[in-house]
Amino acid sequence: MILGKVVLVTGVARQLGGRFVRRIQRDPEVDRVVAVDAVPPEHHLGGADFVQADIRQPTIGRVLAEHGVDTVVHLDVTGTPLGSGSRTTLKETNVIGTMQLLGACQKSPAVKRLVVKSSTNVYGSAPRDPAVFTETTPPKSLPSGGFAKDTVEVEGYVRGFARRRPDVAVCVLRFANILGPSADSPLASYFSLPVLPTVLGYDPRLQFVHEDDVIEVLRIASHEPARGTLNSGTFNVAGDGVLLLSQCARRLGRPTVPLLMPAVSWVGSMVRTLGVTDFSPEQLRLLTHGRVVSTVQMRETLGYKPKYTTAETFADFARSRGPGLLPPEALSRAVDRIAALPVLGGGHPPTQSAN
Amino acid sequence: MADAKVIPFDDDRSRAGGGAVQRPQRRRGAGSRLKGEPAVVREVQPLPGRPIKQDDVPVTHEEPEAPEGPQKSQDGGLERRIAGGLAFLRKRLTGDYEVDDFGYDAELTDQVLMSLLRPVYEKYFRVEVKGIENIPSEGGALIVANHSGTLPLDGLMMQVAVHDHHPAGRHLRLLAADLVFMLPVVNELARKAGHTLACAEDAGRLLSRGELVGVMPEGFKGIGKPFGERYKLQRFGRGGFVSTALRQGTPIIPCSIVGAEEIYPMIGNAKTLARLLGFPYFPVTPTFPWLGPLGAIPLPTKWTIQFGEPIPTDGYPPEAAEDPMLMFNLTDQVREQIQHTLYKLLVQRRSVFF
């Protein structure tokens, strides 16, 4: 049988899953794409076979067998519920769904490759952590709940699966905060708030990865490795460079409100109750201590160089969101106007006001 | 104060008077200043005398630094500073600046943080630096120093010393205790000034990038020791800094700091209070906490920072970093060299305050 690959993708009702399905179908070595999700997607899938199945149910095993799937791309590990879903169903999809899917893969002899979308959340965020995480850095404080804990558990199950099925190439991709014009991550909704609450006295370092790069890395991981590279294992995926939260806010043109730690928690739970954004404890920790990962493995082993740096990713995201209350252009024009004032010849050096 | 500063200014004028080329330039400079002044006087009507004085101070202050070109500081000095300041302000307000993976903000450190520390360094502690030539101009190196003074001012002064005196303008990246990164505001400033957590991963990463890394292996044992034990080096941790330097093959530069031990003479330690606050120690000095915040002003001691001869580590095989005996020996060698230099500097010192 000289047939092309059959790729099964989970979580296609989301923007990222839909984009990946449309993209990977155009690859010549891919024969068929089976797109799976519990709810039908609102976007088109470019002619992929959509199968409405809940990965929390054992039916997923039948789908794998029926279509003769050899590559499984598991994207249904997410931090934000789709539509009106609750945190409980989200956690079930993340954890129980992964367990069911891996169980089905273990039974299916045709499966040769597994790609799992994880997150750099697995490292947690603590003041006692080293400044830069590598794939082997043990976290100082394990995430206590929420999406971060889900990813830790998902990765645990994936490691177990890799032990039981050593013939399957397993690739775990730990993505930094995904941003881009259509991003729907918790951090994207945080940056969409008109005024950004921050933690007083902390300026976390953040790292972003662009949606386009996410799609490309997923593609590399789903195919046979190119010459001289290896695409099984665990990889951090992030754009180059670092942005501080204060820089992000200024580049977005959104004012920040520094709050004392307990007040931030209250505001967080209030905002969450209102349903504006997921201001979970782990998100709060990220916005306090920040997180930076090393991408040496991604460059040297996986052989991928991101097209967007962290700053470019953020610029692309900022363009898609429209100007904030304090657009950076207006601010720099204001400074230029001050510079043009004739009286400034003898004024005080304004460096003090920059503090 | 203002009088004392005017002297080099006049001195310069008499010297510049000899050169025909410099004269018109100087006069042009004075002219532009005259143009600027009335505007200021108009702006600040109630105090007509002050702006002129303020105008004078930075100009005369710049002169001793650049005696070769008096026209430079006269002509565009102030305007350039204002323009530079505005450009800086614009960049800060629009977030258009860069930080590295560790959160080090080179621009902020150079233009603001160092300028804030410099008066303390130059005027208050009157730091004298020796052996700056022992720090290589490029490539990684690990500076190992003694630690004292209740508050880590010695680390900051060492950073200013390297920043201001090293001919290649190198930046010192300090390794700090985890407490620094738990405290609000402090952690933010520490990261922006280029400090990072004292752990083997961060130190190794910085050294492999060719940075100059500063470490104080005594840690809290050194900084929180009672006044009676001043200038007695404590145990150097587990010597992790030696194996990190050895793995990277970077030299170790011993550094001895004299003066920091007396800034807060710690005569007691309120251990219960320290435990309550989560600090490793709570200092009790003759003035603190009795005088409140006033008691937290350090004594104006005279400091000396001496950088010693580098100890090379690139001659060892890679597996040497795993050899505990060699690590202990090297740690002892570094420790003894610092202790020895400390005693030597103490003998040379005339008084604690001068």
In this complex, is the C-beta atom of A200 within 8 Å of any C-beta atom belonging to chain B? yes
Higher model confidence: residue B150 or residue A146? B150
Omega before A130 within 30 of 0, i.e. cis: no
CATH number of B106-263+298-348: 3.40.1130.10
In this complex, is the C-beta atom of A82 within 8 Å of any C-beta atom belonging to chain B? no
In this complex, is the C-beta atom of A92 within 8 Å of any C-beta atom belonging to chain B? no
Who among A251, A342, A346 is closest to B37 (CB)?
A346
The closest alpha carbon to B334, from B305, B312, B349, B314, belongs to: B312
Cα–Cα distances in angstroms (integers) from residue A35 to residues A12, A112, A114, in the given order: 6, 18, 15
Cα–Cα distances in angstroms (integers) from residue A349 to residues A298, A353, B54, B107, in the given order: 46, 9, 11, 17
Closest residue in A to B52 (Cα–Cα): A346
pLDDT for A142-173, tens place per residue? 777 788 889 999 999 999 999 999 999 999 99
Cα–Cα distances in angstroms (integers) from residue A276 to residues A31, A148, A271, A351, B285, in the given order: 41, 20, 6, 38, 51
- For residue B255, the number of C-alpha atoms closer than 13 Å in the C-beta half-sphere is 37
pTM check: above 0.80: yes
Q: What average pLDDT does the structure give for chain B? A: 81
Question: Region A46-59: what's the mean pLDDT?
Answer: 90
In this complex, is the C-beta atom of A248 within 8 Å of any C-beta atom belonging to chain B? yes
Backbone angles phi and psi of B347, in degrees to 5:
-65, -40
Confidence at B120, pLDDT banded by 50, 70, 90: very high
Mutate to test the interface with A, among B89, B91, B178, B186 (most CBs of A within 10 A): B89
pLDDT for B219-232, tens place per residue? 999 999 999 999 99
Q: A-B interface: how many C-beta pairs under 8 angstroms?
A: 145
Please list, in sequence order, all residues whose beta carbon lies within 8 angstroms of the beta carbon of residue B95, skipping any fewer than 6 positions away. A246, A247, A248, A249, A250, A251, A328
Burial of A41 (0-12, 13-18, 19+ CB in 10 A): buried
What is the domain partition of chain B in residue ranges?
2-93, 106-263+298-348
Confidence at A210, pLDDT banded by 50, 70, 90: very high
Query: In chain B, which ranges are E strands?
Result: 128-130, 141-145, 172-176, 196-197, 212-215, 252-258, 268-269, 283-284, 304-307
CB contact under 8 A, B98 and A350: no
Burial of B106 (0-12, 13-18, 19+ CB in 10 A): middle
Cα–Cα distances in angstroms (integers) from residue B221 to residues B148, B237, B286, in the given order: 9, 9, 21
ipTM: 0.86
CB contact under 8 A, A350 and B182: no
- For residue B249, the number of C-alpha atoms closer than 13 Å in the C-beta half-sphere is 9
Question: Region A287-296: what's the mean pLDDT?
Answer: 94
Closest residue in B to A350 (Cα–Cα): B85
pLDDT for A264-282, tens place per residue? 778 777 777 776 666 777 8
pLDDT for B269-307, tens place per residue? 999 999 998 889 999 998 888 888 888 899 999 999 999
pLDDT for B160-198, tens place per residue? 999 999 999 899 999 999 999 999 999 999 999 999 999
Query: Is the model's pLDDT at A64 over the cut of 90?
Result: yes
The structure tokens 């954004």 sit at A277
Contact residues on chain B for A289, CB-CB shorter than 8 A: 181
In this complex, is the C-beta atom of A67 within 8 Å of any C-beta atom belonging to chain B? no
Confidence at B201, pLDDT banded by 50, 70, 90: very high
CA distance A205 to B37: 44
CB contact under 8 A, B95 and A247: yes
In this complex, is the C-beta atom of A249 within 8 Å of any C-beta atom belonging to chain B? yes
Who among A127, A249, A347 is closest to B82 (CB)?
A347
Who among B51, B83, B99 is closest to A244 (CB)?
B99
Contact residues on chain B for A342, CB-CB shorter than 8 A: 39
